[in-house]
Amino acid sequence: MTRGHLSGAIPPSLFSSLPHLTHLILYANNISSALPSEVGLASNIQVLKLENNFMTGTLVTELGLLTHLEELTLGDNDFWRSLPSELGQLTKLTSLSLEENRFSGTVPSFLESLTLLERFSLAHNLMTGSIPVALGALTNMRDLNLATLGVTGTVPSFLGQLTLLGTPTLLLMLLLPFAAPTVSHPHNQCCLHLYQQIP
């Protein structure tokens, strides 16, 4: 169900009573609960789309049990705290969208385990630190969005290893000490955009 027809909480029994569930798409509703730990019982799920709701709380570690998951979309909610390292067990993921929440901590190094990732968005969260070298292992990446995070440092050279980027575009709006010019990717027309933080 999509487009505002559902409200309230996701019942834990939804996952425990449907062990063969492969797709759960509940985006653009009025769901206001946390994600229940029983989600780990849906061990056959391949697509979980819960974006554009009012969900809150931390991401449960049981998400790491969903080893068949290929698409996880949790953007535009109110999830918070750091990302659980168990997400690194989701090695079949091709798309991971976590933008527009309140995730904090650093950009996680466990991403290096998700070598099939083609799309990853962590934009508009509360991350700090630098971009981890682990991102250089994601050579299937086509769409990487880290816009308006609180990360600092220089443009990492290992981004040049992501030769498929540019379909559509790499978006990195970093709060660096100094503004830098646009850098074109050597293999395609991907652009790297850097913006100086405006006081």
Q: Tell me the per-residue pLDDT of 70-89, one tens digit each, with 9 for 90 and over.
A: 999 999 999 999 999 999 99
Binned at pLDDT 50, 70 and 90, residue 161 comes out as: confident
* 181 in any annotated domain: no
Query: 172 or 196, which is more confident?
Result: 172
Binned at pLDDT 50, 70 and 90, residue 156 comes out as: confident
CA separation for the pair 167, 77 (Å, rounded): 26
The residue-averaged pLDDT of 36-49 equals 96
Whether residue 83 contacts residue 106, with contact meaning beta carbons closer than 8 Å, is answered with no
Give yes or no for residue 46 having a pLDDT over 70. Answer: yes
Give yes or no for residue 99 having a pLDDT over 60. Answer: yes
Query: Nearest-CA neighbor of 137 among 120, 157, 115, 117?
Result: 115
* Predicted pLDDT of residue 157: 77
* Predicted pLDDT of residue 174: 46
Give yes or no for residue 176 having a pLDDT over 90. Answer: no
* Predicted pLDDT of residue 62: 98
Plot region of 189 (φ>0 → left; ψ -120 to 50 → alpha; else → beta): alpha
User: In sequence order, which residues have a C-beta less than 8 Å from that of residue 20 and are 6 or more positions away?
Assistant: 44
Query: 91 or 179, which is more confident?
Result: 91
Cα distances from 35 to residues 9, 41, 112, in angstroms, run 9, 13, 25
Task: CATH number of the domain at 44, please.
Answer: 3.80.10.10
Whether residue 26 contacts residue 51, with contact meaning beta carbons closer than 8 Å, is answered with no
* Predicted pLDDT of residue 93: 98
CA separation for the pair 63, 86 (Å, rounded): 7
* 91 in any annotated domain: yes
Give yes or no for residue 171 having a pLDDT over 60. Answer: no
pLDDT tens readout for residues 125-135? 998 888 888 88
* pTM assigned to the model: 0.83
* 126 in any annotated domain: no
* 183 in any annotated domain: no
* Predicted pLDDT of residue 153: 73
Give yes or no for residue 69 having a pLDDT over 80. Answer: yes
User: How many domains does one find in the chain?
Assistant: 1
- What is the domain extent for residue 5? 1-103
* 95 in any annotated domain: yes
Could you check whether the bond before residue 168 is cis, i.e. omega within 30 degrees of 0?
A: yes
Q: Is 85 helix (H, G, I), strand (E, B) or coil?
A: helix
